[in-house]
Chain A
Amino acid sequence: MRIVRLLAFGWLFQMKMLMRSSFNSWLGVLYPLFFATVAFFMFRSGGGGKPLLYASLGAAVMGIWSNTATPAGSAMARERWTGTLELQVAAPVHFALVLLPLTIAMATIGIYSMVATLLWGWLAFGIQLQITDPVAFVLAVPATIVSIGALGFVLAVLFVRFRQAWALGNMLEYPVWLIAGFLVPLSLFPSWVRPISWLLAPTWGIRAIRGAALAGPSYGDIGMALGLGASYVLIGVLLVHRALDAARDKGTLSLT
């Protein structure tokens, strides 16, 4: 119960903090809209035969990843800059329980981006949101957000030793947009790319959301997204110990 409370309040607190930043809040909503608009024009003008809703849903989930990749990369660096990292590490709770709500809050901001993209698609391009399986859709969206937040958690831990981690997080924005199949079917990629895509929770998240909207039940994909998300959390928890121990040994925890 204490852990659930910590995660819930941590998430709420971080949401409030993120919403105060124009970079993390309304740019996070606006920036993916530019890419969505380009995608809408491309799919509308092209002869690919895919429904525009295909592009709209893909662009909507792009926003969730966009809101997570760069901020998550620099999550711990930001705590360093504000001088709160040592306090959080010294707190009696496991550090992962402090960091996880932060990256999930970042992904949650993506809901605004997702809604804005779907609304923009409807208002400017006449893309109607028709959902074949509403229950699966309602389950797929939070599952995608949590799993993307968990991926952000791993990034935050992996990049802890890098001072300019935001750039590494930012670098991963396009590759995940590309190989997770947000706007491109995986079948178009070389065969060696597909196993990498399958290891990414966003791949299953967009499959689940798109499946629920366009095809029908997609509970298997929801399960895969959540399962991969849980794996990321486990990896992150194991890595965070090593990262913190190394930083303590070398006295580099607060090194900026």
Chain B
Amino acid sequence: MNSVRVFFVGGLISYRALFSWLNPWVYIPSFLVAPVFQILLFVYIGRSAKLQSDSFYVIGNGLQYAAIPCLFAMANTIAGERYQQTLGYILITPARRLPLFLGRALPVVTNGFFVSVFALVVGGAIVGTHIAAASYAPIILVIAVSAFACTGLGLINAGLGLIARETAVLSNIFFGALLILSGANVPVHNLPAWLRPVSEGVPLTHGIAAARHLAAGSSFGSVLGLVGAEALIGLVYAALGYSLIRGTETLSRRRATLERA
């Protein structure tokens, strides 16, 4: 019972306390305005380059922008403890580590999901893309799975944030890599052959592909494989991220670098 409380209540309190972007002066420009302009930027570049349709970029960037809340928030809510000088107190508590760290991921997934849905709806309305009404529900499910998968990468980011000072730099690098590799703007088959396997192994690639198929009228059953792959990738990254956090915790105790910022 205590673990459940740590997971839900602890996760929510940590999110509110450590993710300083919840201030409207940050939230609105960063999570509501910027994704819409990212969509517009790539829609217009796409029109200039004559590569894909508008809906290709609306869906690609709408889902890819979930990376911003998922990467930055995950790093803030775990590695941020070090900057607040509270990491030591957290790590000496008897609370189980799994609910302690993974509980912080739940609000991150929820916010990533919301940001993505908002970007998709508003970006799509501005550009004028049409998605069949029957496709909304399965696309929303795909967005949720994609936000979860991206939060898995966010956990790795948070683990690295316990040993690297500049979490904002790390988050931006992961975001940039996803911009290229996830197929948000460049179809995966247009990437160099050696990059394609990397693309298949990162979060969002399968989610974006599934959402595009659904928007084009495919049934949910036909994209089940893609959604399953996205979920599996999320699980693998989450497991790796959790292991990394535990590993860096042990390492920082051994080397007495726990509070080094």
Contacts and interface: CB of A to CB of B under 8 A. Distances in A.
A41 B176 contact: no
B49 A50 contact: yes
B179 A45 contact: no
A175 B44 CA distance: 12
A77 B46 CA distance: 37
**B interface SS class:** helix
Contacts of A235: none
**A interface SS class:** helix
Interface of B: 21, 23, 25-26, 29-30, 33-34, 37-38, 40-42, 44-51, 165-166, 168-169, 172-173, 175-177, 179-180, 185-187, 190-191
Nearest to A175: B37
11 contacts: A38-B179, A41-B191, A42-B51, A42-B186, A45-B51, A46-B49, A48-B50, A164-B26, A167-B30, A175-B37, A183-B48
Interface of A: 22-23, 27, 30-31, 33-35, 37-39, 41-43, 45-50, 162-164, 167-168, 170-171, 173-175, 177-178, 183-185, 188-189
Max chain B C-beta neighbours (<10 A), residue from A42, A47, A168, A183: A42
A23 B169 contact: yes
Contacts of B185: 38, 41-42
Given A31-B176, A171-B34, A43 B49 contact: yes
Given A37-B180, A38-B186, A174-B37, A27 B45 contact: no
Closest 6 CB pairs of A and B: A34-B176, A46-B49, A171-B29, A46-B51, A174-B37, A41-B186
B25 A162 contact: yes
B48 A27 contact: no
B159 to A, nearest CB: 19
A170 B49 contact: no
